[in-house]
Structure 1
Amino acid sequence: MTIAVFPGTFDPITVGHIDIAVRARKLFDEVILGVAHNSSKSPLLDAQARVDVAAAAVAPLEGVRVELIEGLLADFCDREGADVIVKGLRGGADYDAELPMALMNRSLTGIESIFIVGDSALSHVASSLVRDVAKHGGDISAYVPRGVATAVSDALSRRG
């Protein structure tokens, strides 16, 4: 059985993330969508909320599950018995950001990273842009799975 870990902050999970998860599942027996902490980001949704909305979003997808990543991604992959890390790319900037991480993860444990090019129709969809649209009162429902827009709106309301 081949296991792929698809890590990300998923703040919030988007239709672009779902696209990558669906296509990764066609290549691997199991895909673990790993909700991670990124020290260079200040998430809108707390870790448990990101896990919850991601789990609801992937619930219809057989062979895809959500787990919280605590600590190093490479260690998480080792504990889960993962064969590969999957990352989605929208363009060259994503590749430039992901390559050093892929090399570090391989250096730490030998795990390889596989890049899946995102659907060009979704190349403009990014969690940061979705959050920005939501912060300014825009409708994000076309860019996120069902239920996510409500979670984002609730988080924004709590922040005041």
Structure 2
Amino acid sequence: MYNKAIYPGTFDPVTNGHLDIIKRACKIFDEIIVAVADNKDKNTMFSLEKRVKMMKKATENLPKIKVKSFNSLLVEFAKKENAKIIIRGLRAVSDFEYELQMGYANKSLDEEIDTIYLMPNLQNAFISSSVVRSILKYNGDVSHLVPKEILGELNVYSN
């Protein structure tokens, strides 16, 4: 049986925590679509095109990964891609309540959708895109928080 999963997010920018979840998912699934969200409600630091480019660079050595953007309901995107599994990362207990609600909401929209929650390694548990963006605003060093492949892309002003 061929299993395909979707790992959605804004990935603004992709972090080592995201990459950790992606690598774990590669051990479970035959194909993972990293779905970069075009969410107009979020004020992203990087354009959709740049976020897709950074994710492609960060995952170029992972043959099971396809990177695509979407601007619809996640369950509609999953149907279009013929995927029945959504992968979500959980860093802390505070993530759980929100992710549980989203999982139930997606299930209410499509009963065939299941959500699998993966935790990053402890060393990546504190990393979030918000933390990275905050450090970037003050020209701080984020090289230990993001994949080395995207460091050259993190010039905020070249969006």
Residue 67 of structure 1 corresponds to 68
Number of matched pairs: 157
Q: Distance in 2 between matches of 1:11 and 1:143?
A: 13
What is the percentage of aligned positions where both structures have the same residue?
36
Q: Distance in 2 between matches of 1:128 and 1:144?
A: 12
Q: Distance in 2 between matches of 1:52 and 1:98?
A: 26
Normalising by structure 1, report the TM-score: 0.93
- Gap regions ≥5 residues in structure 2: none
Letter in 1 for 2:57: A
Please show how residues 11-160 of structure 1 align to structure 2 within 5 Å.
11-110=12-111, 111-153=113-155, 156-158=156-158
Normalising by structure 2, report the TM-score: 0.94
Q: Distance in 2 between matches of 1:38 and 1:147?
A: 24
Letter in 2 for 1:58: T
What secondary structure is seen at the aligned counterpart in 1 of 2:89?
strand
Letter in 2 for 1:148: I
Instruction: Assess, with a 3 A threshold, how the Cα gap between structure 1 residues 64 and 53 changes in structure 2: closer, same or farther.
Output: same
Offset at residue 4 of structure 1 (A): 0.5
Letter in 2 for 1:77: A
Letter in 2 for 1:132: S
C-alpha RMSD of the superposition = 1.3
Offset at residue 83 of structure 1 (A): 2.0
- Gap regions ≥5 residues in structure 1: none
What secondary structure is seen at the aligned counterpart in 1 of 2:71?
coil
Q: Distance in 2 between matches of 1:143 and 1:2?
A: 30
Offset at residue 143 of structure 1 (A): 0.8
Offset at residue 65 of structure 1 (A): 1.1
What secondary structure is seen at the aligned counterpart in 2 of 1:27?
coil
Offset at residue 39 of structure 1 (A): 4.1
Does 89-98 or 32-41 show the bigger shift? 32-41
